[in-house]
Amino acid sequence: MSDIQEATNQLLDVNLHENQRSVQVTESDLRSESELLVTIGATVPTGFEQTAADEVREKLGSSCKISRDRGKIYFVISVESLAQVHCLRSVDNLFVVVQEFQDYQFKKTKEEVLKDFEDLAGKLPWSDPLKVWKINTSFKKKKIKRKKINQNSSKEKIDNGKDNKIDETGIKKEFPDNALDSHILDYYENPAIKEEISTLVGDDLASCKDETDESTKQETEPQVLKFRVTCNRAGEKHCFTSNEAARDFGGAVQDYFKWKADMTNFDVELLVESLHLGSSLSSRLCDPLPYDIIVDPMCGTGAIPIEGATEWSDCYHIAGDNNPLAVNRAANNISSLLTKSQIKEGKPSWGLPIDAVQWDICNLPLRTGSVDIIVTDLPFGKRMGSKKRNWNLYPACLREMGRVCTPATGRAVLLTQDTKCFTKALSGMRHVWRKVDTVWVNIGGLRAAVYVLGRTPQTFVHPSEQDGERGTPW
């Protein structure tokens, strides 16, 4: 720790994966530095995960685990290969994974959760990732020198998280001779899935100093690192806020390492991530065809349809909820998404194929058989609704969803924690829905399931259109 020198930003990453399907855990337990293995995470543009994984296999000989959420891949390399990592062209930001927790169980109360975060700081296996980080900074110093010569060369699309940062607007910032360009570290794009606690533009004066002071710097003098913590708390179903988590974790790190906290002028960024795979997983499981009409009838703040409109922009998405606050927030999230995409891609268009409606799931104001796909998170018994309510709610939902869904070709992807209630409700609807797949997941420490259902060919006939006696609508 004593020899760590100031350098440009790099991220140390603590991943709290809440889904069993996510990537492997890794910790380096080898002593000798030449054999030191490390897990590197890399962000890639969404959709390019496989391409990046192929490149990693080709150039580094490592296989990748692809995170199903938000364009990230992970791979293990020996430290000797670190230089080659910087040659990857299909990745954006690089970070070293400190530890990953699968099936991390969040405690029930806020106090307990935050206490856990505090304790976490002291328990993490920091030494090897920090070693790697230190080695990496020596690469960056060489890079900085090279980069200054190439300052005026054409726009480099890929940046390795340190030097040629291209910010969200896609415009490369101009910089004066002796300063490096601004680092934009807000690279999460979906406002509905995560809570942004900090966006920043920070001039990296630290690296600048490196250049000028290098000759005079005493290398043996211990440097106090400046750091900040960003907490990405995906999903809305948590009892704590990102700010609180960042503050408590950050406080503990500060005590442990004696680093200084600095929001704008930092050397190291610690990223605490909680990946909520609910919306992402559900969206991917429904596997929409182009030009499908996709509805989330209990959209909350609209995470699923908003992700859908971004991923599958050749489908039409409708987000609905009975709660006016939820629907308004969904509409706001849609607007901010539009604004971002407008700026980012420089396109004149600023509409997306998505709408929001306020409605009741048990009485959907939609034409019979008009919807191709229904994707939603059903209310969790313990958190949102009550278990007793679900006994009535689930069958009514399934009936109404069955009515609006296109017979034979329609499908539904439904996430729920109340699997017992759901299974019972489904058993009474076999003439409408058949079970295609069940995926077990872990959301916020709770066991849940995603049910993929196919609509049977059975059509729905309104009682008023039936001849004679009052039959059932099916």
For residue 222, give the DSSP letter: P
Based on CB atoms, which residue is closest to another protein, 304 or 366?
366
Is position 293 an interface residue for another protein (rule: CB under 8 A)?
Answer: yes
By CB atoms closer than 10 A (0-12, 13-18, 19+), residue 58 is exposed
Based on CB atoms, which residue is closest to another protein, 80 or 314?
314
Based on CB atoms, which residue is closest to another protein, 176 or 290?
290
Based on CB atoms, which residue is closest to another protein, 113 or 299?
299
The distance of closest approach from Cβ of residue 336 to another protein in the complex, given in angstroms and rounded to an integer, is: 14
Instruction: Choose the binding region for another protein from 149-157, 254-262, 278-286, 325-333 (rule: CB under 8 A).
Output: 325-333
CA distances from 399 to 363, 410, 424 (A): 10, 14, 13
The distance of closest approach from Cβ of residue 436 to another protein in the complex, given in angstroms and rounded to an integer, is: 23
The distance of closest approach from Cβ of residue 462 to another protein in the complex, given in angstroms and rounded to an integer, is: 4
Is position 462 an interface residue for another protein (rule: CB under 8 A)?
Answer: yes
CA distance 65 to 409: 33
CA distance 40 to 9: 15
Query: Would residue 353 be called left, alpha or beta, if left means φ above 0 and alpha means ψ between -120 and 50 degrees?
Result: beta
As a whole number of angstroms, the longest Cα–Cα distance in the chain is: 97
The distance of closest approach from Cβ of residue 473 to another protein in the complex, given in angstroms and rounded to an integer, is: 9
The distance of closest approach from Cβ of residue 406 to another protein in the complex, given in angstroms and rounded to an integer, is: 9
CA distance 11 to 22: 20
Candidates 119, 168, 314, 437: give the one binding another protein (CB under 8 A).
314
Q: Which of 360, 311, 355 is nearest to 334 (CA)?
A: 355
The distance of closest approach from Cβ of residue 299 to another protein in the complex, given in angstroms and rounded to an integer, is: 12
Q: Which residues, including other chains, have CB under 8 Å from residue 415's CB and lie 6 or more apart? A: 278, 281, 282, 376, 377, 378, 441, 443, 448, 449, 450, 451
Side chain identity, residue 231: C
What is the CA 465 to chain-centroid distance, rounded? Answer: 47
Based on CB atoms, which residue is closest to another protein, 20 or 363?
363
Q: Which of residues 392-421 bind another protein (CB under 8 A)?
A: 396
Q: Which of residues 365-384 bind another protein (CB under 8 A)?
A: 365-368, 370-371
In which element (H, E) is residue 84 found? helix 82-85
The distance of closest approach from Cβ of residue 414 to another protein in the complex, given in angstroms and rounded to an integer, is: 20
Based on CB atoms, which residue is closest to another protein, 388 or 434?
388
Residue 149: count of CB within 10 angstroms of its CB: 8
Candidates 106, 257, 316, 394: give the one binding another protein (CB under 8 A).
316
Candidates 46, 78, 81, 322: give the one binding another protein (CB under 8 A).
322
Candidates 76, 94, 327, 393: give the one binding another protein (CB under 8 A).
327
Q: Residues 339-368 vs another protein: string with x where CB under 8 A?
A: --------xxxxxxx-xxxxxx-xxxxxxx
What is the CA 340 to chain-centroid distance, rounded? Answer: 17
The distance of closest approach from Cβ of residue 372 to another protein in the complex, given in angstroms and rounded to an integer, is: 9
Candidates 119, 265, 291, 339: give the one binding another protein (CB under 8 A).
291
Based on CB atoms, which residue is closest to another protein, 362 or 384?
362
- CA angle 75-81-85, nearest 5°? 60
Instruction: Choose the binding region for another protein from 5-13, 35-43, 263-271, 313-321 (rule: CB under 8 A).
Output: 313-321
Q: Residues 162-181 vs another protein: string with x where CB under 8 A?
A: --------------------
Is position 312 an interface residue for another protein (rule: CB under 8 A)?
Answer: no
Instruction: Choose the binding region for another protein from 149-157, 209-217, 410-418, 459-467 (rule: CB under 8 A).
Output: 459-467
The answer to whether 249 and 272 are in contact (CB under 8 A) is yes
Instruction: Choose the binding region for another protein from 107-115, 168-176, 318-326, 423-431 (rule: CB under 8 A).
Output: 318-326
SS3 assignment, position 446: strand
The site for another protein, by CB under 8 A, has a size of 38
In which element (H, E) is residue 147 found? helix 127-149
CA distance 429 to 20: 29
Based on CB atoms, which residue is closest to another protein, 350 or 440?
350
The answer to whether 277 and 22 are in contact (CB under 8 A) is yes
Instruction: Choose the binding region for another protein from 148-156, 166-174, 179-187, 314-322 (rule: CB under 8 A).
Output: 314-322
Residue 467: count of CB within 10 angstroms of its CB: 5
Based on CB atoms, which residue is closest to another protein, 81 or 328?
328
The tokens of 406 are what? 């296109």
The distance of closest approach from Cβ of residue 390 to another protein in the complex, given in angstroms and rounded to an integer, is: 16
By CB atoms closer than 10 A (0-12, 13-18, 19+), residue 289 is exposed
Residues that bind another protein (CB under 8 A): 290-291, 293, 314, 316, 318, 322, 324, 327-328, 331, 347-353, 355-360, 362-368, 370-371, 396, 462-465
